Amino acid sequence: MEPLKKVNFIAVHHSQRKIDSIKRIRDLHIRINKWEDIGYHYLIDKKGKIHVGRSEKFIGAHVFGHNKNSIGICLIGNFDEEKPTKKQIKTLINFLKERIKQYKIRKEDILGHREFSGVTKTCPGKFMDMEKIREII
């Protein structure tokens, strides 16, 4: 895997399935997609627990054309059909605050997957308000 040299963005995703697991996502990314590891650097389950996916030392596989300079975090759930849990949002906010300081990036550099140029997906879902997330952090 190639090393991640500079972080300019943090990309927020949803797993797009109401019932999902870290194991299922890992299997999908490694066995089906044939990637070296899970594509996201972090995942947040519905209880608000953060799980490490791919090490931050390496380039992720989560936003085509923007992986070389971004960290990817995925919340488990389908936020086109349901709202993220309060625990997921709390964990996400704390995570983003830490990474803003760590990488010296602006709040404006926290983007939902759909906010990257060339993306036609709804990710991280219509119930994930990225403007509100940026206001809170």
The tens-digit pLDDT sequence of the chain (137 residues) is: 899 999 999 999 999 998 898 899 999 999 989 999 999 999 999 999 999 999 999 999 999 999 999 999 999 999 999 999 999 999 999 999 999 999 999 999 999 999 998 888 899 999 999 999 999 99
**Other beta carbons less than 10 A from residue 123's beta carbon:** 23
What is the residue extent of each domain of the chain?
9-136
Mark out the alpha helices in the chain (DSSP H runs): 22-27, 86-103, 130-136
Residue 6 and residue 11: Cα distance in Å, rounded?
A: 14
**Which residues 6+ apart lie within 8 Å of 124 measured at CB?**
12, 13, 14, 75, 79, 112, 113, 114, 130
Query: CA-to-CA distance for 90 and 86, rounded, in angstroms?
Result: 6
Quote the radius of gyration of the chain (alpha carbons, Å): 14
- CA-nearest of 100, 102, 120, 119 to 110 is 100
CATH number (3.40.50.970, 3.40.80.10, 3.40.50.300, 3.30.390.50) of 9-136 reads 3.40.80.10
